[in-house]
Amino acid sequence: MEIEGLIKKYALKNAFDFGKANEKAVAGRVLGESAEARKDIAATMKLVAGIVKEINALGKKEIEKELKKYGIETSTPNSKPETRNHSIVLPDAKMNEVVTRFPPEPNGHLHIGHAKALFLNYEAANAYSGKLLIRFDDTNPEKESQEYVESIAQDIKWLGIEHSAPTFTSDSIEKIYAYGEKLIRSGNAYACTCPQEVMKENRMKKMGCACRERDAAGNLALFTEMKTTLAAGKAVIRFRGDMASENTVMRDPTLFRIIDVPHYRQGRKYRAWPNYDFVAPVMDALEGVTHAMRSKEYELRDELYACMQEALGLRNVKIVGFSRLGIEGVPVSKREIKKLIDDKKVDGWDDPRLVTIAALKRRGIRPEAIMEFVLSFGLSKVESTPKLEKLLALNKKIIDPVARRYFFARGKKVLKVNGAKPEAVSLKAHPSGNLGMRKLEATGEYYIDENDFEALKIGDAARLKDFCAVRVVGKKKDILETEKVEEIDNETQISKPETRIIQWVPKESAVKCEVMVASELFDGEKFNGDSLRMDKGYCEANCAGMEIGVPAQFERYGFVMLDKKENSRLIFIYMHK
């Protein structure tokens, strides 16, 4: 099949499955399957962009008709049209009417747990030809900033998520105040002036306080003071729940509190700020959300969510829960990550040991791999803490066909070929041969990996990968002396399976480099102080022409991402085997 046909096939299938075709997802499938497409990746990506745009302009029936030309059936016997080919099935969902939302708080960077919530909401909306809303729940001015808004927006874009213009909860504070006052007037909320420790003790004892008996007028007056002059900590607005409930969330939770600091977006316009328990049910209903998909950690709050909407006469929104995603040995919590940064145990939100989106991007993990990884857990509520290896294996499948090969040697060990004459050696840039050739100037002295140096002894034979065979005739502290072997016979051991094949870096043109190798941050509860090591050595001269952010494979070592160039030194990040 020609490249154009292959692109169209996968674009149609992607559009049918998810409502709209995604350029990155389509490109990943095409590049993985077609050697021809990999010969000129830039041209292929341009072609993908054009075809995806054409496909996304088609209607559902046109897409189904086109898919049949490729032998792809779009329906199965006895299947319900609402859930046909959908990987996610929502309760009471109707085609073209589903609205989901992803409501991050801009108080940190996104991590892989957020990616799971984001992709589940995105896929659910696309499965029903609905839409995904992005809403910044920014009602805590002490912790939020424009920096995080921009970072989150960039991460969402990089992940390939298409959505309408984002909204900001702080822009709707006046509406939220009106609903707060409505709740007070109806007797479903009251102002409480008890100290925090008293409120906490009463909730533990299932006891109400005298503030519960205040009339609506008095409560409204206090709410007005909270919004204008009352000092922080002097009063809160609480939902009148059930103090005897076994669900602690329902024991008169706080809905509004005073935070008298400037807001990154609203300045000092407001000082009584609603919390998540009030914002979520109100904003979801106002913005037309049909299905509020959120992780299992909010399960106890589901009862409060429903009670709030009922008390306010708001449209009922279906709650769909799923398990939180943890990664073994790595924190998946903004609070825990921030503490590691503050304690200087990691070097910022994009430290390659972390699973923030910024860190995964820097490490070279592709958005398609993240999507496939997080969606593999579906809407199951079964808690799981997988190792990162599953994500890395998915990433390898995507980048392996397009990652150029280079030589890298750890340490400063040298292999010298006695009597060797300078010659130019042509090597494949990729085993498939589809990425062209690269040249190395062989001068007779080469850096080899320190592990190979230690393993080779006098009399041993080795093959310099894709070049020549040698036999060790002498060994000093840092130098192996060898002679070239012209004939392969039993005496030289060259033809034996155990013969070591080694990578080699011409010493004269070698480029100094370092590779950051990340491992798990925690061993159980204990912080791993050796979770980041630096492999120092030399890479071949061709690496100097690499672009930052481009993946490659150091042969017999692993896949790497060029992170930065410092003076005459290259810094890489190890991705995976």
Residue 567 is part of a domain; what is its CATH number? 2.40.240.10
Q: At 174, give phi and psi (nearest 5°).
A: -60, -40
Query: Is 280 part of any domain?
Result: no
What is the distance between the alpha carbons of residues 162 and 122, in angstroms, rounded to a whole number?
A: 8
If asked whether residues 270 and 186 sit together in one domain, one would say yes
Q: How many domains does the chain have?
A: 5
If asked whether residues 418 and 465 sit together in one domain, one would say yes
What is the distance between the alpha carbons of residues 57 and 15, in angstroms, rounded to a whole number?
A: 10
If asked whether residues 418 and 480 sit together in one domain, one would say yes
Query: Is 298 part of any domain?
Result: no
pLDDT of the residue at 383: 82
Pairing of strands 532-539, 511-518: antiparallel
> What b/e sequence results for 238-249 when a residue is b if at least 16 CB atoms lie within 10 Å of its CB, and e otherwise?
bbbbebeeeeeb
C-alpha atoms less than 13 angstroms from C-alpha of 208 in its C-beta half-sphere: 17
Q: Select from 429, 431, 387, 379 the least CA-distant residue to 550.
A: 429
pLDDT of the residue at 41: 79
If asked whether residues 361 and 417 sit together in one domain, one would say no
Cα dihedral 27, 33, 38, 42, rounded to 10, equals -10
DSSP assignment letter at 393: H
* CATH number of the domain to which 105 belongs: 3.40.50.620
Pairing of strands 131-136, 99-102: parallel
Query: Is 146 part of any domain?
Result: yes
Domain of 530, in residue numbers: 511-576
Spatial CB neighbours of 61, under 8 Å, sequence gap ≥ 6:
none
If asked whether residues 327 and 394 sit together in one domain, one would say yes
If asked whether residues 102 and 158 sit together in one domain, one would say yes
Judge contact between 106 and 152, C-beta under 8 A.
yes
Query: Is 290 part of any domain?
Result: no
Query: Is 303 part of any domain?
Result: no
If asked whether residues 128 and 203 sit together in one domain, one would say no
Query: Is 118 part of any domain?
Result: yes
Residue after which a domain boundary falls, among 506, 540, 560: 506
If asked whether residues 8 and 74 sit together in one domain, one would say yes
C-alpha atoms less than 13 angstroms from C-alpha of 496 in its C-beta half-sphere: 11
Which element (helix H / strand E) includes 418? strand 414-418
What is the distance between the alpha carbons of residues 426 and 252, in angstroms, rounded to a whole number?
A: 74
If asked whether residues 502 and 516 sit together in one domain, one would say no
Residue after which a domain boundary falls, among 376, 399, 422: 399
If asked whether residues 270 and 180 sit together in one domain, one would say yes
What is the distance between the alpha carbons of residues 323 and 299, in angstroms, rounded to a whole number?
A: 10
pLDDT of the residue at 25: 76
Query: Is 302 part of any domain?
Result: no
* CATH number of the domain to which 211 belongs: 3.90.800.10
Residue after which a domain boundary falls, among 399, 421, 436: 399
pLDDT of the residue at 40: 78
Spatial CB neighbours of 567, under 8 Å, sequence gap ≥ 6:
none
C-alpha atoms less than 13 angstroms from C-alpha of 100 in its C-beta half-sphere: 30
pLDDT by residue for the chain (577 residues), tens only, comes to 578 888 888 889 888 877 788 887 788 778 766 767 777 777 888 888 999 999 999 988 888 888 877 767 554 333 333 333 336 899 999 999 999 999 999 999 999 999 999 999 999 999 999 999 999 999 999 999 999 999 999 999 999 998 989 999 999 999 999 999 999 999 999 999 999 999 999 999 999 999 999 999 999 999 999 999 999 999 999 999 999 999 999 999 999 999 999 999 999 999 999 999 999 999 999 999 999 999 998 999 999 999 999 999 999 999 999 999 999 999 999 999 999 999 999 999 999 999 999 999 999 999 999 999 999 999 999 888 899 999 999 999 999 999 999 999 999 999 999 999 999 999 999 999 889 999 999 999 999 999 999 999 999 999 999 999 999 999 999 999 999 987 544 444 454 556 899 999 999 999 999 999 999 999 988 999 999 999 999 999 999 999 999 999 999 999 999 999 998 899 999 999 9
Query: Is 369 part of any domain?
Result: yes
If asked whether residues 472 and 421 sit together in one domain, one would say yes
If asked whether residues 495 and 538 sit together in one domain, one would say no
